Amino acid sequence: MSQSSWKDQIKKKWGPHSHCTICGKAIPPDKKFCSQACRDKYLGYEQKQKSKGKIQMIFLLGMMGVMFFLLFFVWR
């Protein structure tokens, strides 16, 4: 007599589902968010990350420009 694993028991009990990216609530497998509020929160976070990445890139390029200037024009 074979016993089913705990994963099989959970699948039988809850059925196929996924979890909301933001709050973790169980949702149908074809959805990514449970509500419009979670979707808005995710899009706001994504926008902040893009903005932060642009600022970091500008800072990095600025520092490279300063180093280039110092290396080739000041220390000669």
At 37-57, the pLDDT tens digits run 999 999 999 999 999 999 999
Cα 48 to Cα 27: distance, rounded to the nearest angstrom = 26
Q: Tens digit of pLDDT for each residue in 53-70?
A: 999 999 999 999 999 999
Give yes or no for residue 2 having a pLDDT over 70. Answer: no
32 closest CA partner among 58, 42, 9? 42
23 closest CA partner among 7, 36, 10? 36
**Between 66 and 75, the higher pLDDT residue:** 66
Q: What was the pLDDT predicted at 11?
A: 75
Q: What was the pLDDT predicted at 76?
A: 64
Two tokens, residue 23: 């709050």
- 3's enclosing H/E stretch is none
Q: What was the pLDDT predicted at 1?
A: 42
